[in-house]
Structure 1
Amino acid sequence: MANTPSAKKRVRQLERRTEINKARRSRIRTYLRKVEEAIAGGDQAAAKTALQDAQPEIMRGVTKGVIHKNTASRKVSRLSSRVKAMA
């Protein structure tokens, strides 16, 4: 348990950041799910549009420190190859 004032403050800050990061991660997952659904539906135009919407959101997660750069690149790469394979 935090005893010093600085440790108590860090706990408060951590709780706030955790909430923000949860929201960001959830938002990224939502965009990924939209791409997955478009791919499953077989609509290449919708999948391409969904991927273009998801890509900046995924990279924003990298700049905010929610996900690692390589993880984001891997996700974008695999999704784009799947969208391209629909043709």
Structure 2
Amino acid sequence: MSLMTLTATITGGQHPDYYAGRADAYDERNSGTTLHELAHRSTVIADLHSSTQYALGYADRVLELRREHAAQAAAQTDLAHTGATA
């Protein structure tokens, strides 16, 4: 006799497609896709993908990546102007 194990899905209240979109954007960035290319893909996905949640997840991850990039650029600029070394 086998028993089925029930576990709660941890999705933070979001649809699983949302996390699939985030994961795809994450994977594409790690495979060398530029931020510009990701932003373009995000707009195409928003127009053509059948799942709105997937498109939202993809776009959210791209926006996070752009914010991370902007923060790093600002920090590096600050270091360059102050002459401090990291």
TM-score range, shorter chain: 0.3 to 0.5
Q: TM-score, normalised by structure 2?
A: 0.39
More helix by share: 1
Larger radius of gyration: 2
Higher relative contact order (CA 8 A, sep 6+): 2
Q: TM-score, normalised by structure 1?
A: 0.38
